[in-house]
Structure 1
Amino acid sequence: MVTLIKDKVWILNNEIIEFDKNNINYEISDEEGKNNTIAWQIISSHNTSGDNKHLKLKFDSLTSHDITYVGVIQTAKASGLKKFPIPYVLTNCHNSLCAVGGTLNDDDHLFGLTAAKKYGGIYVPPNQAVIHQYMREVMAGCGKMILGTDSHTRYGALGTMGIGEGGGEIVKQLLQNTYDIYRPEVIAIYLQGKPKRGIGPQDIALAIIREVFSCSFVKNKIVEFIGPGIKNLSMDFRNGIDVMTTETACLSSIWCTDEKVNEYFKIHKRPEDYKELRPKDLALYDGLVKVELDKIESMIALPFHPSNAYTIKELNDNLEEILKETERKANLQIMNSNIKVNLRNKIIDGRLKVDQGEIAGCAGGMYENIKAAMEILKGHQLTNDYYSLNIYPASTPIYTKIMEDGSAIELIKSGAIIKTAFCGPCFGAGDVPANGSLSIRHTTRNFPNREGSKPSEGQIATVALMDARSIAATSLNGGFLTAATDLDFDEFEKKYTFDDSSYSRVYNGFRKEKKDEKLIVGPNISEWPEMTRLNENILLKVASVIEDPVTTTDELIPSGEASTYRSNPIKMAEFTLSRRDPGYLPIAKEMKNLEKERIEFIKEGKITDNLRKVINIVNKENVEDFLYNTSFGSVIYAVKPGDGSAREQAASCQKVLGGLANICVEYATKRYRSNLINWGIIPFTADKNLISELSKEDYIYIENIKSKLLNGDKTVIAKLIKSTEQKDIELSIKDISKEEKEILLEGCLINYYKNIK
């Protein structure tokens, strides 16, 4: 079904070959072979460094949604922004319901519109389109690169390399700086065969994610889709697989393009954006994932990760055993003794019964998914028991089409609810089911609380990911889990037409900036608090120790209603780790207040009782030198933090609360590590055995960290201070570029641009 080849693989004219340079009349080096991939052809055309190993990329366009763009623009404004130098699309698809926070959500939307006018941006009003569908329909083009502040910035099936990052990287592009990375490896995803009836893009995606995520096979690499199976997939099918590549932890994606891509651009009135992309005759890849499309079965990803995937048949045949193990892992991840995930209570007469279905967002809300669901449900009625099916077309043009062809009417007659374009069901801000419910969703993620429940208030619900076709099949059977492949229904090629008349409300101000336009700033929108430069020494208090194999950004800063305050850094910071470790906040605040007392000592010379206590703990004799040259802050330890969302608040909220460092075995994604650096948080790594040494409320004292960064030291010896003993530990600070070093020394990206640039 899905096979990994972990050695280098040569592809000749779209076929995997055993390449022996002595037996094949082809003179080519490994480096030349790697340069023949589609990925390198695009990257090299966007690289400004002149160095094939250390890349400095400039993008063709940028995009953000209404959880992130206010922070991006405020940061860029504080750093000297005058105008948007390239197209920057501001969409409003995450907090568009305006259901939480009074006027706060629409205050941000108004800020976004006035920013688009002032700086020359493109503003997409609420309910028009989810961020990635708009970018597919209007902005993607073969050979282009797009950077977005959303982790699912993926347009590879349209010949566009999309990368999702935190806001700091967008700021760099707005200030005409570059995106700096070491040259990534490229892994081929080799598709062959044709999916069977009832199989959709989510099934293919989950099958791939299951095999590659846990072994980090494509982590921070580019996945390149090649092979004869591509021609058997429609564009919606390709886009649906492509957007889920984010869940493999890859950096970006790209596909071969063909006549179907050409037709897509013609339908969307942009034929000039098509060109054929394919590897040159002989290309070398750093590994390969072989996917036999005809062998993929209907899939389900159980809580709490898309990689926790099974075939629906496999689950149904081992229901009790698989759900018991899922509960065990889920409850370890929640770490809340007052609530427990219970999935086995969903077993009724030997079958799994779910409570809700959702088809939504950039993965599920595409035309063909909705059309397929309609074909399954047409002429049938949903149960009138506790079960609902909610469908969100990903854009108004798609909504227009399902109304025009009658699909919307048929779905409504069946009992489904059709809603406007919205990302809420994907990140926990819409259609929150009842406590204890299990929701099946064709969305991108099923992390903890992605359905919107609040464990801190005694609530728990869960999400399983499935394809729209199997969600419709399950809906047809009253909520009892059913694979679409078990049904006899007609699924045929859907002819799509694109009516963009609803986009007449989009404000396109690119290259038409109005310098005198006044930004309208609502009461929740606030500037970033002042952040100080890195001191010579730092004293850290361990505020949280997370032993899970992987920690998501959702756990570091929850999505859902917390996002209402994303434009107010201080209020937003109050939610940090609130659903994962509520004990983090008081420790972080304690150290932040201690740092304030240290600053007051420098001004007034008064040593408080709290300062005296810390001085005694560290056992420093030269008190004045210690207090002048040592900053106090908090540190989080996690085994592998930063999987999932690109949201920079996972890092910035720590900094607002006085966080100065993270320690881990490895970072789950490049983007989370970049977010830490851009907010002046030192990204330490350490041996996995350190976890056995650390406890919450331990102190870590690091002398001469500033000097060591300046000197380019790769390791530092820190002092771990426990209540009963002190010992030396080794921390690593690897792969810090010159610019990243300067950002850390200045204390954050804002300071860097103010003081350096």
Structure 2
Amino acid sequence: MKLYDSGVFLLEGETVVGENEAPRELLEKKEQYKEGTISYGILQDHNTGTSKENLKIRFDAITSHDLTYVGIIQTARASGMERFPIPYVLTCCHNSLCAVGGTINEDDHVFGLTAAKKYGGIYLPPHMGVIHQYMRETEAGCGKMILGSDSHTRYGAIGTMAVGEGGGELVKQILEETWDIKYPEVIAVYLDGKPNPGVGPQDIAIAIVTAVFKNGYVKNKVMEFVGPGVSSMSTDYRNGIDVMTTETTCLSSIWRTDEDTKKYLAAHGRGGEYKKLEPQKIAYYEGCIYIDLSAIHSMIALPFHPSNGYEIRVLNENLDDILHEVEENAKKLIKNPELQLNLRGKIHDGALYADQGTIAGCSGGTYSNIMEAAYLLENKSTGNDAFNLSVYPSSQAVMMDLLRKGAIETLTAAGATIRTAFCGPCFGAGDTPAHGQFAVRHTTRNFPNREGSKPGNGQIASVALMDARSVAATSANRGRITAADELGYVYECPEYHYDSKVYANRVYQGFGKGNPEEELICGPNIKAWPQLPELNENMLLKVCAYITDPVTTTDELIPSGETGSFRSNPMGLAEFTLSRRAPEYVGKAKAVMNNEKARKEGNCPEEIREILDKIHTIPGYEKVEDESIDLSSTIYAVKPGDGSAREQAASCQRVLLGGANISVEYATKRYRSNLINWGMVPFILNDPAGFSEDDYIFVPDIKKALNTDMKEITAFIIGDKIRKLSLAIEPLTEEEKEIIRCGSLINYNRKHNSVQLQQEEI
């Protein structure tokens, strides 16, 4: 694998010429050749604005699962929504376990179905399919764009540029507004050769993520897959690579299409959705990742990130050294000397052993992955000791053909348990290992807590990511970590036969058929958003969490798993904010909220009075009126927001009166967008922090600062001494600035759509 240190020109889709080596006639037309990418054509086709640089995108379809769709619909309702103007697919694949939290999960499913009937949506009931597999099967098509409220919204291998964003961006599409971005840089991913036997899509994905995550090579850029190697893989196989591009922190992905793409769409009854997508004869890319597919070996991503990748053969040759390094890095994340990861304790008989295996979700549960896993386990046994294997086909349509082909029978006979389509193993709500255990999974992520353990409660488990082929090989060896590409086999996957009856007989298809008279059924846990304040002239922040980890994931900001049962109750869910990373945060944020309420009622707490008095000693602000200053909480994190698109990572802070985040940088665009849509200011530091947890920070004239270039915003740390702090805000659109001024997207929509609505009581 090679990362180019400059832009490249792609000639005839075959020849890569580095910008440093390009002839003058190419360089002189570089700007013109930027328009030669597949990405350029799709983005401009969906751009409703007049500028080719500042895009205003309308999508062809949107999708959400049951961890997010209630909040999105509630926000859209509060903003004046009357119908779903484009296909909106509501899936029930995250909170499918309806025994968790009593009636809560099924209450949300009833809400989803009745919302689809009322507003004209598409409703996929629990266990029928995971969100991304269903969208591949029924909505994705060449040249389309789809927006989803899940970070793994990626359908590039079917010629669809898909994006995962927070719920606020879906609300904008429902209200027929736009997704506004600057035209992104596009990185070519040039595939050459073909994968060796035993190498699966997850192996290639882990290799890519390992190469580009830490250096930010593709951060907030589009990955465009080109080159002859694309056609060496089936579309089903490509899907498994494509969905993992999310873990690179790229903005989106797109692949050139070919006869296999056409065959895939035709097999799903949508042959008319095919068109050939390929770069023009000359296309310019801002970077290039060259990959010789034949050089990729079976991979493993060790805890606690998909970028922590090693060839399995290299790991097995250096077990003690590599696992010791992983254990040492884990100490920095867990920060509890009494709770330590012990992977080296899993070494015995000269090998590393796992306690559990899982093949599941949008990345692992696809037809070809499970078929090949069944082939490797035919007439084998997973054993009757601690090791266990579970397999989750990604949809009922996939399950049906696996049954026809005998793969389910083969897997069951080998000792595997077969589950329905469910995303739980990807986020810690399924197959949680025992304390101290080690799991291998073909799923999307292995962040801390993604296996379901709770280090804050003295529990710890860990997950490594592997391809389904190596998970199956490992299972056949009773948990002994085994590289599938070392088995010396050749397998050709039988052709997949899709049967649409499974959906025709169960999925509610309501697009364009909304009935305003339909009752929207709301269970007792479904609550409206609380009223949120507008931005005042001056901002006083209390630092309620100070996190120095290199990266802070959305799972740490608001844990996934069983906490999701409260996702439809804003204040109920907010109780879990940072609970596994900074458990004292909620109490501190509530204290800020209560202090501000008391102050507004004329009973200013002594602590706040002292801070305000100190502000009045700052030259130039001696006469600043207390009424012009609003108190709110903030968190500091070095690089927050990697991972999930769940807007709750921001909204849970906001309903606790969070006013801002302060960071060195934001891990993803989607998290920063979530902050903005919830009316929170996304500050970055110009200088070292210079403050600590529990400090107060005064940001004067914040409203005026939004009218500047925002590169230098002077703030003050209010302590025994008053010290200056230099902040900044990266560029915002005019609409984003106004959302922040209004205090939230809901407030913005009410104001600018002239909708006179009162906050609903549900």
Q: Same fold (TM over 0.5)?
A: yes
Contact 2:545 2:635 in 1 (8 A): yes
User: Using the alignment, how far apart are the partners of 2:36 and 2:287 within structure 1?
Assistant: 15
Write the mapping of 1:481-560 to structure 2, written as runs, cut at 5 A.
481-503=481-503, 504-560=505-561
Deviation per residue, 1:256-292 (Å, 9 max, x gap):
0000000001110111000100001110110000011
Q: Please identify, of 484-493 and 92-101, the stretch whose mean Cα deviation from structure 2 is larger.
A: 484-493
1:212 aligned residue: 212
- Of 708-717 and 204-213, the range deviating more from structure 2: 708-717
Which whole-Å CA distance do the structure 2 matches of 1:615 and 1:202 have between them? 55
Q: Residues 322-359 of structure 1: CA distance to partner in whole angstroms, max 9, x if unpaired?
A: 11111111221122344222211111133111110010
Question: For each residue in 1:85-132, what CA deviation from the matched residue of structure 2 results, as whole angstroms up to 9, or x when unmatched?
Answer: 000000000011113100000000000000000000000010000000
Match of 1:569 in 2: 570
Measure how far apart 1:27 and its partner are: 9.8
Q: How does 1:396-415 map to 2 (within 5 A)?
A: 396-415=396-415
Aligned to 2:692: 695
Deviations 1:428-449 (A, max 9, x none): 1111110111111100000111
Measured after TM superposition, the shift of residue 613 of structure 1 is 4.2
Residue identity in the other structure for 2:106: D
Q: Is the 8 A contact 2:453 2:461 kept in 1?
A: yes
Q: Deviations along 1:294-334, whole A, 9 cap, x unmatched?
A: 00011000111100111111111111111111111122112
Tell me the residue number matched to 1:221.
221
- Give how far 1:404 is off: 0.7
- Report the CA distance between 1:737 and its aligned residue: 1.0
TM-fit CA distance, 1:711: 4.2
Partner of 1:658: 657
1:745 maps onto 2:741 in alignment:
yes
Correspondences of 1:122-137 after superposition (within 5 Å): 122-137=122-137
Partner Cα separation in structure 1 for residue 127 and residue 381 of structure 2: 28
Distance 2:446 2:604 in 1: 49
Partner of 1:434: 434
Deviation at 1:493, TM superposition (A): 3.0
Structure 1 pair 611–23 and aligned structure 2 pair: CA distance change class (3 A): closer
Q: How far apart are the structure 2 equivalents of 1:714 and 1:318? A: 48
Contact residue 620 and residue 626 of structure 1 kept, 8 A: no
Q: For residue 475 of structure 1, what is the aligned residue in structure 2?
A: 475
Q: Does 1:302 align with 2:302?
A: yes
1:8 aligns with 2:7: yes
Per-residue Cα deviation, 1:351-382 (whole angstroms, up to 9, x for no partner): 11111001000000001110111111100111
Match of residue 120 from structure 1: 120
SS in 2 for 1:401: helix
Query: 1:146, 1:162 within 8 Å by CA — same for their partners in 2?
Result: yes
Q: How many residues align?
A: 749
Does residue 347 in structure 1 map to residue 347 in structure 2? yes
Pair 1:631 & 2:637 matched = no
Give the superposition deviation at 1:587. 1.5
1:23 CA displacement: 5.9
Structure-1 residue corresponding to 2:95: 95
Amino acid across the alignment from 2:644: S
Q: CA RMSD in A?
A: 1.7
Determine if contact 2:85/2:174 at 8 Å carries over to the other structure: yes
Partner-residue secondary structure (3-state), 2:397: helix
CA distance in 2, matches of 1:713, 1:362: 40
1:679 alignment partner in structure 2: 678
Q: Given residue 118 of structure 2, which amino acid in structure 1 is its aligned partner?
A: K
**Any conservation in 2 of the 1:46–1:58 contact (CA below 8 Å)?**
yes
The alignment partner of 2:636 has SS state of strand
Deviation (angstroms), 1:618? 4.2
Q: Which sections of structure 1, spanning at least 5 residues, go unmatched?
A: none
SS of the equivalent of 2:630 reads strand
- 1:599 is matched with 600
Alpha-carbon distance between aligned partners in 2 of 1:99 and 1:324, rounded to the nearest angstrom: 39
Distance 2:457 2:187 in 1: 44
Alpha-carbon distance, 1:612 to partner: 2.9
Q: Judge conservation of contact 1:391–1:417 (CA < 8 Å) in 2.
A: yes
Deviates more, 1:283-292 or 1:310-319: 310-319
Cα drift, residue 700 of structure 1:
0.6
1:66 counterpart letter in structure 2 = D
Note if 1:587 corresponds to 2:583. Answer: no
* Aligned counterpart, 1:161: 161
Give 1:595's aligned amino acid: E
CA-to-aligned-CA distance 1:1-28 (integer Å, 9 cap, x gap)? x110021101111222437999698797
Q: Is the 8 A contact 2:380 2:414 kept in 1?
A: yes
Cα deviation for residue 478 of structure 1 reads 1.0
Query: Do the aligned partners of 1:540 and 1:633 also contact (CA within 8 Å) in 2?
Result: yes
Contact between 2:714 and 2:727, CA under 8 Å: does it hold in 1?
Answer: yes
Residue 759 of structure 2 corresponds to which residue in structure 1?
Answer: none
**Residues 129 and 396 of structure 1 are in contact (CA less than 8 Å); yes or no, is this contact kept in structure 2?**
yes
Q: Distance in 2 between matches of 1:444 and 1:18?
A: 33
Checking the alignment, whether the CA contact within 8 Å between 2:710 and 2:731 is kept in structure 1 is no
- Using structure 2 for the length normalisation, give the TM-score: 0.96
Q: CA deviation at 1:616?
A: 4.7
Question: What residue number does 2:461 align with?
Answer: 461
Structure 2 counterpart of 1:715, from 712, 718, 727: 712
> Residue in 1 aligned with 2:756?
none
Structure 1 residues 24 and 704 mapped into 2: Cα distance closer, same or farther (>3 Å)?
closer
Normalised by the size of structure 1, how large is the TM-score? Answer: 0.97
Give 1:590 deviation, angstroms: 1.2
Deviations 1:633-667 (A, max 9, x none): 11111111111100000000000111101111111
Asked whether the 8 Å contact 2:687–2:725 carries over to 1, the reply is no
What is the rounded CA distance, in whole Å, between the counterparts of 2:295 and 2:331 in structure 1?
Answer: 33
Decide whether the 8 Å contact of 1:370 with 1:393 is kept in 2: yes
The answer on whether the counterparts of 1:537 and 1:702 sit within 8 Å (CA) in structure 2 is yes
Instruction: Indicate the percent of aligned positions where both proteins have the same amino acid.
Output: 55
Deviation at 1:502, TM superposition (A): 1.3
Equivalent AA in structure 2 for residue 65 of structure 1: H
3-state secondary structure, aligned to 1:463: strand
Asked if structure 2 preserves the Cα contact closer than 8 Å seen for 1:541 and 1:698, the reply is yes
CA separation of 1:715 and 1:23: change in aligned 2, threshold 3 A: closer
1:445 and 2:445 correspond: yes
Q: Output the amino acid matched with 1:16.
A: T
Which residue is 1:379 aligned to? 379
> What amino acid sits opposite 1:660 in the alignment?
G
Deviates further, 343-352 or 30-39? 343-352
2:722 to 723, 726, 729: 726
Shift of 1:550: 1.2
Cα distance between partner residues in 2 of 1:37 and 1:486: 38
Secondary structure of the residue aligned to 1:55 is strand
Q: Please give the alpha-carbon distance, in whole angstroms, between the structure 2 residues aligned to 1:712 and 1:16.
A: 41
Alignment of 1:181-220 (within 5 A): 181-220=181-220
Per the TM alignment, residue 712 of structure 1 is displaced from its structure 2 partner at its CA by 4.7
Checking the alignment, whether the CA contact within 8 Å between 1:6 and 1:286 is kept in structure 2 is no
The answer to whether the Cα contact below 8 Å between 1:388 and 1:416 also exists between their aligned partners in 2 is: yes
Q: In 2, distance between residues paired with 1:51 and 1:321?
A: 53
| Residue identity matched to 1:652 | S
Unaligned runs of at least 5 residues, structure 2:
754-762
Instruction: Report the Cα offset of residue 689 of structure 1.
Output: 2.4
Distance 2:623 2:85 in 1: 48
What SS is found at the alignment partner of 1:18?
strand
